[in-house]
Amino acid sequence: MTEQPRHEPVLLERIIELFAPVLADRPAVLVDATLGLGGHSDALLSAHPELVLVGLDRDPNALARSRERLARHGDRVHLVHTVYDGLPEALSGLGLSRVDAVLFDLGVSSMQLDVADRGFAYARDSPLDMRMDQTTGQTAADVLNTYTAGDLTRVLRDYGEERFASRIAKAVVAERDREPFTTSARLVELLYAAVPAATRRTGGHPAKRTFQALRIEVNAELDVLRRAIPAALSALRVGGRIVVESYQSLEDRIVKRCLTDLAKSTTPPGLPVELPEHRPYFRLLTRGAEVADEREVAANARAQSVRLRAAERIREAT
């Protein structure tokens, strides 16, 4: 029997609320830069009958499922197979230069977590793939079996914030010399042995950080995000809004930096008035990062780590 992935959109009511002022009662264009199974997009299309959706995803399987789910919205839906830093090219291909709203729901999708053979989940044995687009690129097994101990240490430290990165990397290199890594269960077994017992008792599952680091490396997620957020901000018209949901601190730092930098005045210190050409380009719509409440976390465990930030363009770039 084929597994049917579950999908419960995180902070859906809040996202609908944040976008309502720019989407309600008028023709508008929304880019869902991380379409996934289309839960957020489906709700927004239903709420706004004149909304046109541009949905991006690197995962062909996600696009196929979303195309079926969103078919009832007819020609208001345009889906594009691309990584989200391909947003400018996707818009150009549709003859669009400016949009009213952009949504990012970052990290691994429900479908990728729930389908065993994708290799994202450490709770069950599966091939060490972790590619969001299984048609291209290196797998997690390739990383484990070919990277030097130094490069593995860097990946685990920088992308997983793993305290025991060097110890794990050395153990991986020693173990792969005996037999290359192919499945997640063998890696999880190694991690249980490499992470000290005291840390295992208090620091959560010993595989969590390593699996996060491998996924980010395989999909170049942070490099893509550093390009994608500025591209999305540039595509917004004056009055347009961006909403970003992050699920780990590395993503959230990038998003925070991009939004706050453009929401600051650049008027030189000491001047009594703000110079028009130095006014901010954006205003923040959230005070810091918003989180899910206890009710939503109880209903949807994946909401537990979400951090939501939003901003509105208030003037054009010069």
pLDDT 10s digits, 94-127: 999 999 999 999 987 554 555 555 556 766 789 9
| Mean pLDDT confidence for 28-34 | 98
Work out the burial of residue 316: count CB atoms within 10 Å of its CB; fewer than 13 is exposed, 13-18 middle, 19 or more buried.
exposed
pTM of the model: 0.90
Q: Is the pLDDT of residue 259 over 60?
A: yes
- State the CATH class of domain 12-111+221-313: alpha beta
Distances (CA, A) of 65 to 4, 14, 30, 227: 10, 24, 19, 27
| Strand arrangement, sheet containing 51-57 | 77-81, 51-57, 28-32, 99-105, 236-246, 307-313, 282-284
Tokens representing 152 are 């593995």
The reply to whether 136-219 shares the fold of 12-111+221-313 is no
Position 5 confidence tier, pLDDT thresholds 50, 70, 90: very low
Which tokens belong to 275? 């110079």
Contact 129, 187 (CB under 8 A): no
What own/partner pairs with CB < 8 Å and gap ≥ 24 does 152-157 have? 155/213, 155/214, 155/216, 155/217, 156/209, 156/210, 156/213
Q: From the annotation, which residues make up the binding site?
A: 38-40, 57, 84, 105, 112
Q: Which residues are annotated as a binding site for S-adenosyl-L-methionine?
A: 38-40, 57, 84, 105, 112
Is the pLDDT at 200 greater than 70? The verdict is no
Q: Where are the domains of the chain?
A: 12-111+221-313, 136-219
Fold for the domain defined by 136-219: DNA polymerase; domain 1 (1.10.150)
Helix (H), strand (E) at residue 32: strand 28-32
Arithmetic mean of pLDDT over the chain: 91
Average pLDDT over residues 295-317: 93
For residue 12, the model assigns a pLDDT of: 96
The b/e string for 258-288 (b: 16+ C-beta within 10 A; e otherwise) is bbeebbeeebeeeeeeeeeeeebbbebbbee
| 267 DSSP 8-state letter | P
